[in-house]
């Protein structure tokens, strides 16, 4: 049994597992979105990315339960950063439909927020144990590489 499963009560362990699953859904959805955008074009990837947006609900729940579990400030920052990126994604891609990807400074800010959120998800996943952490790190690197490859291939 690893350290992630020895600590805390049953509810805390379930929430740690929820966080790890949410992180993995975000990583895998990002990977699939980047692959679809490269293969079928940018418009196709738009709808494939919807599962990422839906992760805002369990992330918000994890944030609400953070206080009662006495989570450290870093946990709040990790989840809050991913939620901030999800809100930006929702508004620029789905609500307003603003094409900011041709403006370099906007892209840089968006990518920094994306990677900060993704890095935070590695931290959240690691609370569920070493295997979840290793898996999250691996998926983080795959998503990161594909993000840049997709940008080079599509220009967006």
What would the pLDDT profile of 58-98 be if each residue is shown by its tens digit?
Answer: 999 999 999 999 999 999 999 999 999 999 988 887 787 66
pLDDT tens digits for 37-59?
Answer: 888 876 666 777 788 999 999 99
Residue 82 contacts residue 143 (beta carbons within 8 Å): no
Residue boundaries of the structural domains of the chain: 3-154
Angle at 53 between CA 58 and CA 103, to 5 degrees: 140
The DSSP code for 127 is T
Q: What is the DSSP letter of 67?
A: T
What is the value of pTM for the model shown?
0.87
């Amino acid at each position: 049994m690893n350290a992630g499963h020895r600590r805390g009560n049953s509810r805390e362990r379930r929430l740690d597992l929820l966080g790890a699953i949410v992180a993995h859904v975000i990583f895998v959805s990002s990977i699939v979105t980047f692959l679809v955008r490269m293969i079928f074009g940018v418009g196709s990837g738009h709808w494939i990315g919807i599962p990422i947006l839906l992760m805002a609900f369990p992330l918000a729940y994890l944030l609400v339960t953070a206080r009662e579990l006495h989570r450290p400030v870093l946990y709040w920052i990790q989840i809050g950063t991913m939620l901030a990126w999800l809100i930006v994604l929702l508004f620029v891609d789905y609500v307003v439909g603003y094409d900011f990807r041709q403006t370099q400074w906007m892209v840089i800010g968006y990518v920094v927020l994306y990677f900060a959120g993704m890095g935070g998800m590695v931290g959240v996943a690691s609370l569920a144990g070493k295997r979840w952490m290793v898996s999250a790190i691996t998926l983080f690197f795959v998503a990161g590489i594909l993000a840049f490859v997709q940008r080079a291939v599509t220009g967006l």
